[in-house]
Copies of this chain bind each other. A is one copy, B any other.
Amino acid sequence: MESRKTTITDIAKKLNISKSTVSRALSNHASIGLRTRMRVQQLATELDYEPDQTAIHFKQRKKFLIGVILPSISLEFFSSIVSGIEDIAYKKNYTLLLGQSRDDEEREKKIVETMKNHRVDGMLISISKNTTNYEHFELLRKNKIPIVFFDRIPNMNNIHYIASQLESGMKEAVNFLIKKGHKQIALINGPANLPASKERLQGFENAMKKNKIKLPPEMVVSSDLTKEGNISATQQLLHLKRRPDAIIAFNDYVAMDAIQQAKKAKVRINKDICFISFANEAICNYMDHPPMASIEQFPYQQGEKATEILLDLLENSPSESQEQEPHYHNILLPSQLVVRISK
C-alpha cells in the first residue's frame, strides 16, 4: 500500500480535529477529553504512528546525542571506557556517536567538526597523542558544546576532565618492587607531551626518592607507543651496563612488547627482570609470562563517571544561569596495583 510515515497531521485530518489536539492527546495532556484522547491514540496505533524524534529534537534544540572521540577502540582499555559510557548514556536515553582519531590530529579535528555539525548535546573526548593544537576544542567551547575529557586530557585550562590518579598506583608499584628486593628499577614511559607520561614520571621519581633509591637518568626511557618504539626503548634498557632488575612499563601493550624482546635476549621474565605495567588488560592472563603486576585503572568506571559529569552538565546548565562561577570538574580516579603472579 502506501508507504510514507504517518504524522500527526494525517491523524488530525482523518479525525477532523486539529494537529494541536492530536499532539496533546498523544502526550496525555490533561486538558483533553477522554473520548478524543482515546480516539486519537487508537488511530495512532492503527496507523503505526511514531513521533519523529528528529523533528522533536530539532524544535527542542536537544538531540540526545553524545559524541565520543578517542584514539582507537581496539585497545581493551578504551573499549571498556566506551562500555561504561554507553551504559550510563543509555539509561538516560542518550545515544553515542563514535569517532576514532587513530592518533591523527587532522582526523580528530574533522571528527569534532562533523559532530559539532550534528549538534551533539555534548562530547566525551580522549585526545590523540599527536594533538598539540587545541583550537578545535576552543571551537566547541564557543559553540557551547560541553566537553568532558577522559584519560588523555589536553594541556588546557578551565576544562572538565577525569583521569586516573597514576601517582598512587606508581607508588604502590615501586614499593612492591622494593619490598621484593629490587633496586635497579627502570621506567619505559610514553611520549613526553602526554600528561599521562608526565604523571607517571613524576610518580616514579617521587616514589624512588621517598625510598631513597638512586635514579640514574638512563633508567627512564620513552616510547612513542608503537611496536617499534616499544622495542627500541626496551633495547636501550637491556643494553645498559647496569641492567635494570625491574621494569615498569607505560601500559600492558608496551610491557608485552618489552617482555617479548627480553625473552629474545634470554632474560628470565619476572626473575632476572621483573615487569610491572599499567592497565591490567584481561588479555594478559593468556600469556605464559605476563607482567607480574599491573596497575588497574578502572576504565569502565572512568567511562561511567565521565558520562555522569557530562549529563549533569547538560541537565543543570539551562543556558547562561550563573556565568560568574563556572565550576570545572577535575577528577582523578584512584588506581590500584593488582598482583598477577604472587609467588
Shortest A210–chain B CB gap in Å is 33
Interface residues of A in 111-133 (CB under 8 A from B): 114-119
B79→A74 contact, CB < 8 A: yes
A73→B63 contact, CB < 8 A: no
A287: interface (CB < 8 Å): yes
A100: interface (CB < 8 Å): yes
CA distance A95 to B66 in the complex (A): 12
A283: interface (CB < 8 Å): yes
CA distance A77 to B319 in the complex (A): 43
B50→A54 contact, CB < 8 A: no
Interface residues of A in 310-337 (CB under 8 A from B): 319-320
Tell me the nearest residue of chain B to A144, going by C-beta.
Answer: B3
Shortest A336–chain B CB gap in Å is 21
A96→B95 contact, CB < 8 A: no
Shortest A92–chain B CB gap in Å is 12
A57 surroundings in chain B (CB, below 8 A): 54
A283 surroundings in chain B (CB, below 8 A): 283, 286
A99: interface (CB < 8 Å): yes
Q: C-beta contact mask, A290-313 vs B, less than 8 Å → 1, else 0?
A: 000000000000000000000000
A117 surroundings in chain B (CB, below 8 A): 50-51, 53
If A3-B320, A58-B55, A119-B53 touch, whether A86 touches B100 (CB-CB below 8 Å) is yes
Residue in A48, A86, A117 whose Cβ sees the most chain B Cβ within 10 Å? A117
CA distance A86 to B54 in the complex (A): 23
- Pick 17 A–B contacts, CB within 8 A, sort by A: A50-B116, A50-B143, A52-B119, A55-B58, A65-B97, A65-B118, A72-B83, A73-B82, A83-B100, A93-B114, A95-B115, A97-B97, A98-B98, A256-B286, A286-B287, A287-B287, A287-B288
